[in-house]
């Protein structure tokens, strides 16, 4: 493979199979020091052209829209006025490429991606580049959140042929959809160490004309190699590996990469990676009396506390940003993703369950407050994301973080009141600035602000405990807490008048399933019916707007229409494996929180559909996409990494175990064993890449306890019909009665909570 530029950026995109699972770094922050561009190719490409051209002249976007104006995706609509003859992914584009014998330029991104915005502004709005793309290529634009199958296939190529990946993803394909050159973000023109997008287009145009046969042959060779490399199958193996061994190796790998001071598992950038935190909590649960078990608990709790105190958390409006650009969790990449909120809510709820510290439950409630306020459709669904960029003032060019940053002057003007009882003259603003580390010069390091755009700006990050801040000014802790809360509320109200970041109002079944879990689990842990009702409304939304009763299939997407309506694309975008997997998990969590058997019944039906559409009957495990939907793509993949979201196969393993427990259906246990066996080699090689699957492996190989609580003692209930042995259980003295069961053998009836607690700790 040849590279057309300097070495690739170190932290751009997912790095599958390399060290710790990363959080799917979606593009990069403008503060990243290394923004060099990598181009990978399946044929040698001629050098030259670097630094030899001036910038292309820019013109205002044309007024006549291209065909993307007819799409529903917010990301595609952002490109509807580019002077590029864009096509959505589909047969019309492929037929044109074959008929005119042109290469396809595939551009993949999403609507809240900072570097996608940059490339659109610099290159896709450029008239000369637009002409090149329209005349010499068939240009196709894809929203990766609508078509994760397309994204995964070509990201596999980019990562395999270079050292990184990320968004925007730029890939050149043959008319038969086989990739031959790939990269990420390109500046429009050549720099000292980077090749420009226009130069890349000119070189590929020349190669296609002069060297097409070699290019096609090498492209086929690369595709064949990727197909072999990406195959996940049981092979000759009969059983999955030892859970004890995989658990130990996964924990040791995490322990080696752990940041003792700030928590987390990398230097920078740092991602939340809730799948790692869930693994550590599970590891602690099964190793409570060992030193490693205590260590696992400490690692997870410390990481969650440092994240919640850092700038990656929005202390004014709640919720978490995508990732931290530094080791300290201080300066984030400011976009907010629904899937992060959903998973972190569960992680903080678990931390509260384990520690009893209300700090963690308060963080969980804050996340859900943010989601309910900012990411919720009035019909019950949940939006995808909020952008990192927004105009500092109306009419100005958007900048990253503008909505979230503060100057000392702003805070002083908003909080001028004097604080009574302090040991020195003190205003509410000064108290807040001390506690959250605001300074006149700004608290963002110049190394994170190479263009000098953020001078004097501050990210709120907790610098001192409440006790230390109170002691510093001779105040009561309760008084400091009240003053800080009041100050944050005033900042929140003032922030409402700023131009807001773009909202991606697309609703995805998978992420809505994760959010149903978030509300259901937290509601159950905290005993808050209100939160469980949010989960119920989310599940009702999925059934009403994203489920086709006739076929039993889920739809991938729907969109917020005008006047609070819900719209769909035509034809509909059908669900992928992760949609079924995450929705089934959400429904199981909701059933456990609400005890409404209708959600369990729907989960069973969706699992049957998932098995029919995605199960690999020969190799074991689930494909990411339906065979029909992915027709024409060079690969049909099984996702093999738990990253920003858990792998759909990892979650499926858990779901199959839970469904077997609820129904006793042997087929689901058999499928779970086959799935874990198919991923054996991947787990053995890099267990830390699949912490969620290692958790499922442990659950499978342990004897799990089931707690059955009879509230009404109805032998005709749905669950009693699934598990006949439940018909032998009775309530005592007309009271709620619990049984602890293992392998369908149950304890004596229990009516006192303290007795149940004792039995569970045995």
pLDDT tens-digit profile of 457-481?
A: 999 999 999 999 999 999 999 999 9
| Strand pairing class (706-710; 553-554) | unpaired
Residue span of the structural domain in which 714 resides: 709-760
Is residue 264 in some structural domain? no
Phi first, then psi: what are they for 261, rounded to 5°?
Answer: -80, -50
Q: Are 44 and 214 in contact (CB under 8 A)?
A: no
Instruction: Tokens for 738, please give them.
Output: 């619990």
Structure tokens at 480: 């400091």
Q: Are residues 454 and 526 in the same domain?
A: no
Return the structure tokens found at 702. Answer: 């342990």
Kindly state the average pLDDT of the residues 438-447.
94
CB atoms within 10 A of CB 221: 11
735 plus 697 within the same structural domain: no
pLDDT at 723: 75
CB atoms within 10 A of CB 46: 12
The residues near 210 (Cβ < 8 Å, ≥ 6 apart) are none
C-alpha–C-alpha distance, residues 433 and 463, integer Å: 10
Q: Within this chain, do residues 611 and 713 fall inside the same structural domain, yes or no?
A: no
Rounded to an integer, what distance in angstroms lies between the CA atom of residue 364 and that of residue 342? 10
Residue 456: is its pLDDT beyond 50? yes
Strand partners, 105: 139, 172
Q: How far apart are CA 168 and CA 150, in angstroms?
A: 13
Residue 662 shares a structural domain with residue 719: no
Alpha-carbon distance of 594 to 533, in angstroms, equals: 9
Q: Is the pLDDT of residue 747 over 80?
A: yes
Last residue of a domain, one of 683, 702, 721: 702
Claim to verify: residue 491 and residue 609 sit in the same structural domain: no
Kindly state the average pLDDT of the residues 653-681: 95
Residue 303 lies in a domain: no
- C-alpha 80/C-alpha 62 separation (Å) is 10
Q: Domain ends where: 212, 230, 248?
A: 230
| Statement: residue 757 has pLDDT above 70 | yes
The answer to whether residue 719 sits within a structural domain is yes
DSSP string spanning 428-445?
Answer: HHHHHHHHHT--TT-SS-
- Quick one: 489 and 524 in the same domain? no
Give 555's strand partners. Answer: 574
Supply 250's token pair. 């996964």
Question: Per-residue pLDDT for 6 more than 70?
Answer: no
Helices vs. strands in the chain: H and E counts, helices first: 26, 21
Domain-located, residue 178: yes
Q: Which of 510, 476, 495 is nearest to 403 (CA)?
A: 495
Q: Which one has a higher pLDDT value, 694 or 55?
A: 694
Same domain, residue pair 654 and 691 = yes
Residue 340 vs residue 632, higher pLDDT? 340
On whether both 420 and 569 belong to a single domain, the answer is: no
Q: How confident is the model at residue 734 (pLDDT cuts 50, 70, 90)?
A: confident
Q: How many percent of the chain have pLDDT more than 70? A: 91
Among residues 274, 117, 104, 289, the alpha carbon closest in space to that of 180 is found at 104
In angstroms, the CA 129 to CA 350 distance is: 51
Who contacts 696 (Cβ-Cβ below 8 Å, separation ≥6)?
A: 650, 653, 654, 657, 672, 676
Residue 750 lies in a domain: yes
Quote the number of domains for the chain. 4
Lookup: tokens for 121: 């502004």
Q: Judge if 625 and 677 occupy the same domain.
A: yes
Residue 29: pLDDT over 70: no
712: which 2 tokens? 């009404």
Q: Which of 396-405, 484-493, 701-710 has the lowest mean pLDDT?
A: 701-710
Kindly tell me if the per-residue pLDDT of 31 is higher than 70. no
Contact predicate 317/374, CB 8 Å: yes
Distances (CA, A) of 168 to 56, 363, 642: 21, 32, 21
Does a structural domain hold residue 257?
no
**Cα(213)–Cα(225) distance, integer angstroms:** 19
115: left (phi over 0), alpha (psi -120 to 50) or beta: alpha
CA-based angle 580:583:588, to the nearest 5? 120
- Say yes or no: 697 and 573 in one domain: yes
Least confident of 184-198, 367-381, 719-733: 719-733
Residue ending a domain, among 497, 531, 558, is: 497
Contacts of 353 (CB under 8 A, 6+ apart): 525
What is the pLDDT at residue 58? 42
Q: Does residue 3 have a pLDDT over 90? A: no
Query: Rounded distance, CA 608 to CA 653, Å?
Result: 14
- Taking each helix axis as running N to C, give the angle between helix 274-286 and helix 691-701, from 0 to 180 degrees, rounded to the nearest 10: 30
Report how far apart, in Å, the C-alpha atoms of 284 and of each of 273, 291, 296, 426, 655 are. Answer: 17, 10, 6, 45, 22
The mean pLDDT of 297-301, rounded to a whole number, is 98
Quote the pLDDT of residue 715: 66
Q: How far apart are CA 364 and CA 358, in angstroms?
A: 10
Name residue, tokens 């190669």: 207
Give the Cα separation of 336 and 561 in Å (integer): 21
Q: Is the pLDDT of residue 17 over 70?
A: no
In this prediction, residue 746 has a pLDDT band, given cuts at 50, 70 and 90, of: confident
Reference 79, options 141, 22, 16; nearest CA is: 141
Specify whether 480 is located in the same domain as 420.
yes
Token look-up 């608990």 returns 297
Same structural domain for residues 555 and 570? yes
- pTM (two decimals): 0.91
Give a yes or no: residue 15 inside a domain.
no
Is 291 part of a structural domain of the chain? no
Question: What is the phi/psi pair of residue 441, to 5°?
Answer: -80, -10
Nearest Cα residue to 517 out of 598, 590, 596 = 590
Which is more confident, 14 or 503? Answer: 503
In angstroms, what CA-CA distances link 729 with 709, 713, 721, 737? 10, 8, 13, 9
For the four alpha carbons of 645, 650, 654 and 659, in that order, the dihedral sign comes to: positive
Please give the share of the chain, as a percent, with pLDDT higher than 90: 76
* Residue 711 near residue 736 (C-beta atoms within 8 A): yes
Asked if residue 717 has pLDDT above 80, the reply is no
Q: Is 199 left (phi over 0), alpha (psi -120 to 50) or beta?
A: alpha
Residue 139: which residues within 8 A CB-CB, separation 6 or more?
Answer: 84, 85, 86, 87, 104, 105, 107, 133
Tokens representing residue 416 in the block = 């001028």
């Amino acid at each position: 493979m040849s590279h057309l530029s300097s070495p690739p950026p170190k932290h751009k995109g997912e790095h599958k199979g390399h060290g710790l699972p990363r959080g799917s770094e979606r593009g990069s922050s403008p503060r990243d020091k290394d923004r060099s561009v990598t181009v990978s190719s399946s044929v040698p490409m001629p050098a030259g052209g670097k630094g030899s051209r001036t910038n292309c002249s820019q013109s205002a976007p044309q007024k006549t829209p291209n065909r993307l104006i007819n799409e529903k995706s917010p990301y595609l609509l952002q490109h509807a006025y580019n002077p590029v003859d864009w096509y959505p992914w589909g047969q019309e584009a492929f037929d044109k490429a074959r008929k005119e014998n042109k290469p396809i330029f595939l551009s993949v991104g999403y609507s809240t991606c900072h570097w996608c915005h940059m490339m659109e502004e610099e290159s896709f709005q450029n008239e000369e580049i637009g002409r090149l793309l329209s005349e010499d290529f068939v240009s196709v634009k894809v929203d990766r959140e609508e078509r994760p199958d397309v994204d995964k296939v070509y990201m596999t190529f980019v990562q395999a042929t270079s050292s990184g990946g990320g968004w925007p993803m730029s890939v050149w394909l043959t008319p038969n959809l086989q990739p031959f050159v790939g990269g990420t973000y390109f500046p429009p023109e050549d720099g000292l160490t980077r090749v420009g997008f226009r130069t890349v287009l000119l070189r590929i145009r020349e190669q296609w004309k002069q060297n097409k046969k070699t290019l096609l042959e090498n492209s086929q060779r690369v595709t064949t190699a990727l197909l072999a490399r990406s195959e996940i199958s049981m092979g000759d193996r009969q059983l999955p590996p030892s859970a004890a061994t995989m658990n130990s190796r996964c924990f040791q790998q995490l322990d080696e990469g752990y940041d003792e001071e700030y928590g987390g598992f990398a230097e920078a950038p740092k991602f939340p990676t809730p799948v790692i935190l869930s693994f550590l909590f599970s590891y602690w649960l099964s190793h409570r009396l060992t030193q490693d078990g205590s260590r696992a608990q400490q690692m997870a709790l410390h990481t969650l506390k440092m994240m919640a105190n850092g700038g990656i958390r929005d202390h004014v409006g709640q919720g978490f940003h995508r990732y931290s650009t530094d080791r300290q969790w201080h300066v984030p990449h400011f976009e907010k993703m629904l899937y992060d909120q959903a998973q972190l809510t569960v992680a903080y709820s678990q931390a509260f369950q384990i520690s009893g510290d209300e700090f963690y439950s308060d963080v969980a409630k804050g996340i859900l407050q943010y989601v309910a306020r900012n990411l919720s459709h009035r019909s019950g669904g949940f939006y995808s994301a909020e952008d990192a960029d927004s105009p500092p003032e109306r009419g100005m060019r958007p900048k990253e973080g503008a909505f979230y940053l503060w100057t000392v002057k702003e805070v002083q003007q908003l909080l001028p009141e004097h604080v009574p009882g302090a040991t020195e003259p003190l205003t509410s603003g000064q108290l807040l600035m001390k506690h959250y580390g605001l300074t006149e010069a700004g608290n963002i390091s110049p190394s994170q602000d190479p263009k000098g755009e953020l001078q004097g700006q501050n990210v709120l990050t907790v610098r001192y405990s409440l006790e230390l801040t109170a002691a510093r000014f001779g105040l009561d802790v309760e008084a400091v807490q009240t003053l800080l809360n009041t100050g944050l509320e005033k900042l929140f109200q003032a922030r409402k008048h700023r131009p807001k970041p773009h909202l991606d109002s697309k609703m995805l079944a998978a992420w809505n399933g994760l959010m149903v879990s978030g509300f259901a689990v937290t509601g159950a842990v905290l005993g808050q019916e209100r939160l469980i009702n949010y989960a119920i409304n989310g599940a009702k939304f999925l059934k009403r707007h994203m489920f086709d009763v006739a076929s039993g299939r889920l739809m991938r997407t729907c969109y917020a229409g005008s006047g609070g309506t819900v719209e769909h694309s035509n034809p509909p975008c059908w669900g992928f494996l992760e949609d079924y997997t995450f929705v089934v998990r959400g429904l199981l969590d909701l059933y456990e929180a609400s005890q409404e058997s209708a959600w369990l019944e729907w989960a069973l039906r969706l699992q049957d559909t998932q098995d029919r559409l995605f199960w690999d009957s020969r190799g074991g495990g689930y494909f990411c996409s339906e065979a029909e939907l992915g027709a024409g793509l060079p690969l049909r993949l099984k996702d093999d990494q738990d990253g920003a979201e858990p792998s759909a196969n990892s979650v499926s393993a858990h779901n199959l175990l839970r469904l077997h427990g609820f129904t006793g259906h042997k087929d689901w246990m058999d499928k779970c064993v086959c799935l874990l066996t198919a991923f054996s080699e991947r787990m053995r090689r890099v267990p830390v890449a699949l912490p969620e699957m290692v958790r499922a492996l442990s659950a499978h190989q342990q004897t799990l306890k089931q707690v059955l609580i009879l509230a009404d003692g109805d032998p005709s209930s749905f669950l009693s019909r699934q598990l006949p042995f439940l018909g032998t259980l009775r309530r005592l003295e007309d009271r709620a009665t619990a049984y602890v069961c293992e392998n369908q053998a149950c304890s004596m009836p229990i009516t006192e909570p303290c007795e149940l607690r004792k039995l569970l700790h045995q």
